[in-house]
A = this chain, B = another copy of it.
Amino acid sequence: MERAVRYSKKREAILAAIQGTRCHPSAEWVYKQLKPQHPDLSLGTVYRNLVFFQQRGLIQSVGVIQGQERFDAALAPHSHFVCNCCGAVLDLPDIAPDSALDQTVSRQYELTVQRHELTFYGLCPSCSDPQQYLKEETSS
């Protein structure tokens, strides 16, 4: 017998938070985002739901960046850019991975390739701007 799934207001809010941002959030980001509207939300619930959504393919991990796992609401195939300075993750919608490559690699190396990822690393506009250090703090 399969395990039943029940509605939960917090689960809904967690998924909406991830789908509603482009920042590829971490568990903590989701938690802080929702805490004001859901004062009794706990981090454990966020983590449990992240696993839940991943298992159902609603979200995907983008990897661990600066110590925290980051997530993406899975949509069209695309690549990512990661800022080595602030850890920001940006979508590169025009840089789509070539799925034919999977087959090439599968054959050439006798592996079962399921997918591949193309990730760029560097500095985001804000971190590569030398003037940033002269500006006032605008975020904490």
User: Of B92, B104, B109, B121, which one neighbours A109 at CB under 8 angstroms?
Assistant: B92
- The answer to whether A105 touches B120 (Cβ under 8 A) is yes
Report how many residues on chain A are interfacial, defined by Cβ distance under 8 Å: 32
Pick out which of these stretches binds chain B: A24-32, A47-55, A111-119.
Answer: A111-119
Can you list 8 A-B contacts (CB < 8 A)? A101-B120, A102-B122, A111-B124, A111-B125, A112-B128, A114-B121, A117-B121, A119-B119
CB neighbours (8 Å) of A111 from chain B are 81, 90, 120, 122-125, 128
Digit string of A92-103 for contact with B (CB within 8 Å is 1, else 0)?
A: 101100000110
Residue on B with the closest CB to A64?
Answer: B64
